[in-house]
């Protein structure tokens, strides 16, 4: 398996108000770049994971498990949500349109 691409797992926190300090604490965005192998899903996998044929779906494979918290995944300038994962090494992604599901 060739790890020739990179995906970015992004974790965002929301803004919140701190009543003790009487100020707003702004959210943070953490990014973790991970080398991976990216491929399209087979027709069988697409139907198993999504229940229908979906053209904006990808399968990424990592060399070691990824168990950190994340909000979404970025790949080649597009945002994806993780629909399913296997053993923390294989992730099935669906593209977010305008940042929404």
How many angstroms separate the CA atoms of 61 and 88, rounded? 9
Helix (H/G/I), strand (E/B), else coil: 37:
strand
pTM of the model: 0.76
**Confidence at 86, pLDDT banded by 50, 70, 90:** confident
pLDDT value, residue 43:
67
pLDDT value, residue 90:
92
pLDDT value, residue 73:
95
Q: With 60 as the cut, is the pLDDT of residue 101 above it?
A: no
pLDDT value, residue 97:
76
Q: With 70 as the cut, is the pLDDT of residue 48 above it?
A: no
From residue 13, alpha-carbon distances to 28, 66, 68, 71, 93 in Å are: 5, 19, 14, 9, 21
């Amino acid at each position: 398996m060739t790890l020739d691409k990179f995906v970015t797992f992004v974790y965002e926190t929301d803004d919140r108000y701190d009543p003790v300090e009487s100020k707003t604490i702004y959210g943070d965005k953490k990014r973790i770049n991970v080398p991976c192998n990216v491929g399209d899903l087979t027709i069988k996998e697409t139907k198993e994971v999504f229940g229908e044929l979906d053209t904006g779906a990808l399968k990424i494979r990592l060399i070691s498990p990824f168990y950190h918290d994340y909000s979404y995944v970025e790949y080649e300038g597009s945002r994806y949500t993780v629909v399913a994962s296997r053993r923390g090494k294989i992730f099935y992604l669906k593209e977010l349109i305008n940042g929404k599901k």
